[in-house]
Structure 1
Amino acid sequence: METPVSRSALYGKLAGPLFRSLESATAFCKLRSNPWVELTHWLHQLTQQPDNDILHVLRHYQIPLSDVEKALLRQLDMLPAGASAISDFSHHIDLSVEKAWMLASVRYGDNKIRSGWLLLALLTTPELRRVLSSICAPLATLPVDELTEILPSLIETSPEAQERPYDGSGLASAIPGESSQAIPNSGQDGKSALAKYCQDMTALARDGKIDPVTGREHEIRTMTDILLRRRQNNPLLTGEAGVGKTAVVEGFALAIAQGEVPPALREIRLLALDVGALLAGASMKGEFESRLKGLLEEAGRSPQPVILFVDEVHTLVGAGGASGTGDAANLLKPALARGTLRTIGATTWSEYKRHIEKDPALTRRFQVLQIAEPEEIPAMEMVRGLVDTLEKHHNVLILDEAVRAAVQLSHRYIPARQLPDKAISLLDTAAARVALTLHTPPASVQFLRQQLKAAEMERSLLQKQEKMGIQSDERRDALTARIFSLNDELTASESRWQRELELVHTLQELRLAESDADDKTTLQQAETALREWQGDAPVVFPEVSAAVVAAIVADWTGIPAGRMVKDEASQVLELPARLAQRVTGQDGALAQIGERIQTARAGLGDPRKPVGVFMLAGPSGVGKTETALALAEAIYGGEQNLITINMSEFQEAHTVSTLKGAPPGYVGYGEGGVLTEAVRRHPWSVVLLDEIEKAHHDVHELFYQVFDKGGMEDGEGTHVDFKNTTLLLTTNVGSDLISQMCEDPALMPDATGLKEALMPELRKHFPAAFLGRVTVIPYLPLDETSRGVIARLHLDRLVARMGEQHGVTLTYSEELVAHIVACCPMHETGARLLIGYIEQHILPQLSRYWLQAMTEKAAIRQIDIGVNGDEQIVFEIVC
């Protein structure tokens, strides 16, 4: 008895052009809304190709192609239309392919079906010839006997002669139309629905393609308990993104593969459903439901028990309907209730409440299993389970200190994500960076190469200009000197990099070698040599260490999370002195701020609170805002990391929403708050709340959680972390009292006495609960010496500006400083009066002299500013 050839195998024998023409015919049929793909569609698409066997035959017998096309178009217009989907190929197409394969293989010894063999099959098969006569008479008139003899020679030069049989490797199916979803899957001898839309996780586990899962034994055991029930045996894993919901299911797959499950589950196939593939191409109403129903039926009648895993299960609920009508959920409910289909779902808690909890009938068919974010110790165990996998992938050594650092630093400094996902991502990135340093030049060398290339391009342009008579000697000489300097710097950097790379490779070879006592001594010597050569700024890393992980955290967040190197430690120790370079006359206040920052950077502060919360109380213009600017520049990387909020704009209770974001249902919801968005984007920053006393009491209460717990929830319920910020609150409350107490330096109290005297005034504006959460620091009025220092500071800035902008040397006398201080006695505006005097009396005259020199084309080399005997400011110009 002859064994029938499977449909996919038969269609796989079609030559490439013939297969593509049948694909085009299915799309053409769908476009015309015909219910079946007919021979008419196929022949029409064959006539549209630039060259094939049939066109060679038509040219030989001088049959006009236009006559064939007209006949086919007339027949196409007679086909029934209005179908919402294609049912399948017509019987005549299946028969023609079968007969063509018999002719090709038996009579002509070919290994593929060409359009010439197809045409001959239509002519030699009585049933097919009758169909051909009705749809295209010009083709039916061809002489069959003659064509049978001469056909091989006629189509010898056809491009189809060079084609191979189509085997289906290019598309999802070897049957035309199924890969493009133009026709439904045959479901018989094509790919099954389970194979097409699911991935076998148990097979992946047996093949070692799933990473090991540790630390989730309790969750896996609980899920096993649910699956062993007779009814309602469908666990639904809920938890925030990144806590390891999918990892729990992967751990269950590994347990099945290793036989560590009860006998009832040992023969189970755990299949992960690809909802995207299930939805893809299901444009017609009912297509998605048809696919899902077929998949569920196939899963139910599978000889080997099946458990479906649906990740992001909320995407399946409500899919298929035009407006989320829950068609998929209605198909799932009966199977889930009967226990015939066991399903593991996974989704976030918010998506569960939004999509699934609203349907009680669906909710009761699932057993919710909450997957919580692990604590640091369990998270470390989970990450350690992946160390071998990461080491093999990146070909680097990962130290255990890197695992601990990845968990601890990510837990503290990346609050927007969850453990263990963020720790794994951090460790993976650190391993990638170490691998990168072992094989590519460091960033410093690449930067110098780019700088040198840019300088050489500029020199080339200048040389080109000089050939045209455009001279620029000074610029060329400066550029030549810069190129020499860059070359020297690049040579030194490359030499350092190559030497460091050699030491690292030597160390790695020693670690891989068989170790004895001598080898261990050599290894220690190599480690010492590398450590001494690298110092505090390594460019090549021999392994993934805690320092590398901390560097990644710093790149991601801007937070210097790692162990302080020598230079950074000295900067923190010298912080009060550095702040005093910009803020004058407030040494006691700066010392208090510096002590708190030093405590935090030493890791001894409360990690649950911000770095510091200070209320700077004092008269206007004494350096409160300047302190925030100086602190941002000294510790936080620059003034761009200063977040300034003018609290006078928040005098009404409803303005709380401006700070933290509008609540649901209000205008602006989803746009974030002024404060919360700024801190989320720059978690390592100074937050300046200027004139805090002018804000409404509800605004004050908003900050209680920030001061106590180092965090705040915005209008969308998202936690915003303030633990790495320093908050400075400025206020003018008690300014008059401070000024009165400081009028006589001999009677001026110390900082503690001043603070005690100030507290009654502060309590009139702030509740005790608010004041108890901040450190009050009084700012003193500026004495004459401090005002002189400030005047020099701003004059020095003017000197630097003249030099940078115009290349002019600007000098000033001490008499000028004394004159400015004398003209600006202590005022309620403080140092702002000094700055205003310079801007109103010095800058305008200086500008006039400079502009006048430009009009006269005079080259000014130096300007000296002083004071004459009449206490008038004078300018001496040197050209």
Structure 2
Amino acid sequence: MNTFLTRIDARAKIILSSFGDVSEISLVDLLTKIVTAGGMGKRVLESRGFLQNLKQDKYIPLNQLVEEAFYTAIRMGHTYVGTEHLLLAGLTKAGFGGLEEISMEVERLNSLPLLLKNVSDSVKPNILNTYAIDLTKRYMFYPKDRFVEREEVHKMFKILLQRNNSNVLLTGPRGVGKKSLIEVMARRISLMDTPIFFAGTYMLDFNLQAFVTNLPANTETFDIAIRNLASEARMLGRSILVIKSMPSMFINLSATSSAGAVFKNLVESLNRVNCKLIICLDDESANGDFSLQEELFWGFTALDIKEPAQKITMEILHMEARKLAGYFLLKIPKEAVSYAYKKAKTEVKAEVFPQKAVELLDRACSLASYEDTKVPADLRALVAKHIKASLDVDQAFFDKNYDKATRLAKVLYKLEDKLNGVTLASGKDLHTLTAKDIDKVLNEYKEEEQKEYKIGTKTLADLDRHIKQKIVGQDRAVGVVTQALVRSQMGLRPKHKPVGNFLFLGPTGVGKTELAKVLAQEAFGDDALIRLDMSDFGEKHTVARLVGAPPGYLGYNDGGELTSKISRKPQSVVLFDEIEKAHPDILNILLQIMEEGELCDMRGDTFSFSHAVVILTSNLGTESIHKRDIGYGGSIKSQKEIEERVQQSAKAFLKPELLNRFDEVITFKQLEKKDSIRILDILVDEVKKSLADKDLTLELGRGVKEFLLEKGFSMEFGARSLRRTVEKELLDKIAGFLMRGSSTRKIIKVKLSPEGVLEVLQ
């Protein structure tokens, strides 16, 4: 390692030579000379105000200062000793804390990465300077309790030591701690707590996304940039390039594609100059499928990161608690950390450990800090006085009343001294995080989960009434589906299964599809209905449209029609309309959805239906309902007979294992004339609302509704026949009247003529 340090900065030489042959030096003297000499050390001192706030001088052996400065430079990855290293060495030997913040200040103020200071201007790197951050330097001064060792770190070191396949591909769900493993590795390298192979290794966080974004999209430009990057990596010697986020252009593609060829060229070029790669790839980004990417990631060893064990998770939580306590000025006892872990495990559904427990603790601290660490009233009054005094001084100067300005300025300075002496929180005043604070956040989680529905808890009880106002004559069906929503929102259903699985049977025009539409709109909002007409999926080859094309077929990367829609709208009503027209293979897909509450597409992605209502509709067994029996007294079947017939037909058509998955098989009853009266009122109200948008008012004369009802009512075709009659007899005539421009008033009157025809009048 003696050849690693090549020079001492000129300013550092001046400072050291000025001490002469003394054995000990004063810390104040050292800091004063650093300020006099200038350079990075001076900039850090001035930005921190350290010299002015130094209360006590200390003496440091000169030889120990020099040794520590050299060691600091080595740990920071620098090939020189500068004034910043003397500063950090002096503070270290004097026993001062806060070195982590000062080292971060050095990084912030430095205009170029320190690891490149020894490179001449003619060959000064541009790519690494722009797109890379030195992680070994960043985490060097972080205290040990900021990191938690995990077994995966040792595995990563072993992979990097391999001769072949020595690049690391970290996979796993988002939130398991892949990036924290990289931080631990970077700190160990900076402290040389590694095999000798990694001594002097640079670990750089490389922003590949920004790198490729700022390049013209052609292969020649990429090749030139990759050669330049490899040349810069060669100058560093042994290095590790970390790519924490893979650009989308490199995800889910084969090595034979143009982007895949660029990526392979990048990996091979860097490996040739002794630069290894570590790539983080979330399961959500990679879609859990590497079958097409095996050649692309040739030279990588995949390391799947799982949720850590409980012991490791608790260590991570205690580490995060220490950070949060300092950030929020709170006390976080061990009991609160354990309670957060327990509740995150049992009540927080999303995400994985340790992320969901850390997030729960963070939100609890935020809530407690917001509620219980308010600025004291006396301090607020003092701030108000300071603001007023400052404005008064400015006004006095503006009025050229300098005597008054001087007098007010003295008052202002006294107020500033008081403000500077105020401590917002002392140890005895700090709020202690409790289980109650965590429970408040859990209640917020539940409220957020309830907001997945359009309606709130208060109006959920009225959902049944709201839907019955739009769906006529099917009170039992409405009650069943709304009760399923209530069960779900109150947390009284299996977490992984859909909100409800229902089979709607009955003749056409009785409201099966309409109930699904209204339920979606009332419970989940507009555009929350995923409707799949099963007549479009009657052939075997069309089944793949639901879950995507298989590998090797056109459209493989496009995803499935059903899976892509449920991923965009997980809170929805999924309607499989007229299931009897579907290919039998679709029934196997339905089994998976209704039993497991999830569906895998052809790419290996898993999509959850746990917040969806699954509805199947069918007209099975209704073909002969309206056929008259032979004889004088033949009539339409009774409701009980209709229900028995359609239930038997459903049992004959659907497999028992599918029927057994339904929460309820509901037979819709035929609409009677009294039901049609209410339906007509709903249809007329829709027409009135449409005209109201045009500032027009509709008035119906005597006998108009009776005319529409008499002409549109049909036991066989249900509400659809009535809707068609309203469109033909009422809407068409109003539209023609408006198109002719006949209306000069804001009121449109419709009356029934003596000939039995509807007329639109001015």
Q: TM-score, normalization: structure 1?
A: 0.53
Cα contact 1:237–1:371 (8 A) shared by 2: no
Q: 1:233 to 1:613 in 2, by over 3 A?
A: closer
Cα pair 1:426 1:549 within 8 Å, conserved:
no
Q: How does 1:316-335 map to 2 (within 5 A)?
A: 329=268, 332=271
SS in 2 for 1:729: strand
- Structure 2 distance, partners of 1:767, 1:436, is 57
| SS state at 2:224 partner | coil
Kindly indicate whether residue 199 of structure 2 is the aligned counterpart of residue 272 of structure 1: no
Q: Could you tell me whether the CA contact under 8 Å between 1:272 and 1:308 is conserved in 2?
A: yes
The answer for the alignment partner of 2:178 in structure 1 is 245
Counterpart in 2 of 1:730? 617
Q: Distance in 1 between matches of 2:466 and 2:439?
A: 36
Which residue number corresponds to residue 184 of structure 1?
123
CA contact (8 A) 2:230 2:269 kept: no
Q: Secondary structure at the match of 2:553?
A: coil
Q: Is the 8 A contact 1:310 1:343 kept in 2?
A: yes
| Alpha-carbon distance, 1:623 to partner | 0.5
* SS class of match (1:703): helix
Alignment partner of 1:826 out of 714, 720, 732: 714
* Partner in structure 2 of residue 781 of structure 1: 670
- Alpha-carbon distance between aligned partners in 1 of 2:227 and 2:188, rounded to the nearest angstrom: 38
Distance 1:380 1:849, change over 3 A: farther
Deviation at 1:685, TM superposition (A): 0.9
- Find the counterpart in structure 1 of residue 756 from structure 2: 872
Q: Tell me if the contact between 1:686 and 1:725 (Cα under 8 Å) persists in the aligned partners.
A: yes
SS for the counterpart of 1:589 is helix
Structure 1 pair 680–395 and aligned structure 2 pair: CA distance change class (3 A): farther
User: Is 1:208 aligned to 2:103, yes or no?
Assistant: no
The amino acid of 2:695's aligned partner reads H
Residue 44 of structure 1 corresponds to none
The 3-state SS of whatever aligns with 2:665 is strand
Q: Tell me how far apart the structure 2 counterparts of residues 802 and 786 of structure 1 sit (CA, whole Å).
A: 25
Q: Deviations over 1:263-302 (max 9, x none)?
A: x68996674234559999982785444444443xx34xxx
- Would the aligned equivalents of 1:643 and 1:685 in 2 still touch at CA under 8 Å? yes
User: Cα 1:8–1:828, aligned 2, differ >3 Å: closer, same or farther?
Assistant: farther
Aligned with 2:695 (options 803, 806, 811): 806
Structure 1 letter corresponding to 2:730: I
Q: 1:646 aligns with which of 511, 530, 533?
A: 533
Check 1:675–1:177 CA distance in 2 against 1; reply closer, same or farther (3 A cut).
same
The secondary structure found in structure 1 opposite 2:179 is helix
Q: CA RMSD in A?
A: 5.7
Q: 1:615 aligns with which of 503, 513, 538?
A: 503
Matches within 5 A, 1:591-670: 591-638=479-526, 640-670=527-557
Looking at structure 2, the residues matched to 515 and 176 of structure 1 have their Cα atoms a distance apart, in angstroms, of 47
State the one-letter code of the partner of 1:546.
L
Going from structure 1 to structure 2, the CA distance change for 1:797 and 1:217 (only over 3 Å counts) comes to: same
The C-alpha deviation readout for 1:150-206, integer Å capped at 9, x for no partner, is xxxxxxxxxxxxxxxxxx9756699999799xx435xxxxx9999999755455334
Stretch deviating more after TM superposition (692-701 or 780-789)? 692-701
| Shift in Å, 1:764 | 3.8
Q: Distance in 2 between matches of 1:717 and 1:654?
A: 19
In the alignment, what sits opposite 1:57?
A: none
Matching of residue 581 in structure 1 with residue 513 in structure 2: no
Amino acid at match of 1:386: E
Contact 1:662/1:715, CA 8 A, preserved across alignment: yes
Letter in 2 for 1:238: L
The code of the aligned residue for 1:250 comes to E
Distance 2:144 2:311 in 1: 23
Deviation at 1:755, TM superposition (A): 5.5
Native 8 Å contact 2:128 2:229 kept in 1: no
Corresponding position: 1:716 with 2:603: yes
Mapped contact 2:127–2:229 kept (Cα < 8 A): no
SS at match of 2:647: helix
Aligned to 1:837: 725
Cα deviation code 1:478-499 (max 9, x no counterpart) = xxxxxxxxxxxxxxxxxxxxxx
User: 2:304 corresponds to which residue?
Assistant: 370
- Percent identity reads 24
The answer for the alignment partner of 2:653 in structure 1 is 765
Indicate whether 1:691 and 2:578 are aligned: yes
Instruction: Determine the structure 2 residue equivalent to 1:219.
Output: 152
Q: Identify if the C-alpha distance between structure 1 residues 679 and 355 changes in structure 2 by more than 3 Å, giving closer, same or farther.
A: closer
CA distance in structure 2 between the aligned counterparts of 1:710 and 1:174, rounded to whole angstroms? 53
Give how far 1:700 is off.
Answer: 2.3
Quick one: which of 749, 752, 760 aligns to 1:863?
749
Alpha carbons 2:733, 2:760 under 8 Å: kept: no
Cα distance change of structure 1 residues 393 and 861 upon mapping to structure 2, 3 Å threshold: same
CA distance in 2, matches of 1:808, 1:688: 36
Q: Is the 8 A contact 1:819 1:871 kept in 2?
A: no
Q: How far 1:616 moved relative to its partner?
A: 0.8
Change over 3 Å in CA distance of 1:621–1:237 after alignment to 2:
same
**1:546 counterpart (416, 433, 442):** 442
Q: Does 1:796 align with 2:685?
A: yes
| 3-state secondary structure, aligned to 1:207 | coil
How far the C-alpha of 1:384 sits from its partner, in A, is 6.5
Distance, in Å, in 2 between the alignment partners of 1:669 and 1:325 is 23
Distance 1:781 1:376 in 2: 58
User: Per the alignment, in what secondary structure is the counterpart of residue 735 of structure 1?
Assistant: coil
- Counterpart in the other structure of 2:460: 572
1:735-757 Cα offsets, whole Å, 9 max, x none, are 246668999899643xxx96664
Give the AA of the match of 1:246: K
Q: Give the 3 Å change call, closer, same or farther, for CA 823–763 of structure 1 in structure 2.
A: same
* Higher Cα radius of gyration: 1
SS in 1 for 2:616: strand
Which structure 1 residue ranges, 5 or more long, are not aligned?
11-167, 186-190, 300-306, 336-340, 440-508, 529-540, 562-566
Q: Report how many aligned residue pairs link the two structures.
A: 579
Letter in 2 for 1:718: D
Determine the C-alpha separation between the residues in 1 that align with 2:226 and 2:491: 61
- 2:730·2:758 contact (CA, 8 Å) conserved in 1? no
Q: Taking structure 2 as the reference length, what is the TM-score of the superposition?
A: 0.60
Offset, 1:690: 1.4
Contact 1:234 1:344 in 2 (8 A): no
How far does residue 650 in structure 1 lie from its aligned partner after superposition? 1.1
Does the Cα contact within 8 Å between 1:380 and 1:404 map onto a contact in 2? no
The answer as to whether partners of 1:256 and 1:265 remain within 8 angstroms in 2 is no
Question: Contact 1:643–1:686 at 8 Å: present in 2 too?
Answer: yes
Which residue matches 1:283? 224
1:583-629 deviation line (CA, Å, top 9, x unaligned): 11111111221222221111111111111121111111101111012
Partner of 1:66: none
* Contact 1:705–1:711 under 8 Å retained in 2: yes
User: Counterpart amino acid of 2:710?
Assistant: A
Partners of 1:661 and 1:715 within 8 A in 2: yes
- Pair 808,651 (structure 1): closer, same or farther in 2 beyond 3 Å: same
Q: 2:507 aligns to what SS in structure 1?
A: coil
How many Å separate the matches in 1 of 2:276 and 2:748? 88
Q: Secondary structure at the match of 1:386?
A: helix
Q: CA deviation at 1:682?
A: 0.9
Do the aligned partners of 2:575 and 2:616 also contact (CA within 8 Å) in 1? yes
Decide whether aligned partners of structure 1 residues 387 and 8 sit closer, same or farther in structure 2, where only a CA change above 3 A counts.
closer
Check conservation: 2:264, 2:296, Cα contact below 8 A. no
Q: Which amino acid aligns with 2:203?
A: A
**SS of equivalent to 2:492:** coil
Could you tell me which of 358, 381, 386 is aligned with 2:320?
Answer: 386
Report if aligned partners of 2:134, 2:203 keep a CA contact under 8 Å in 1: yes
Greater displacement, 620-629 / 197-206: 197-206
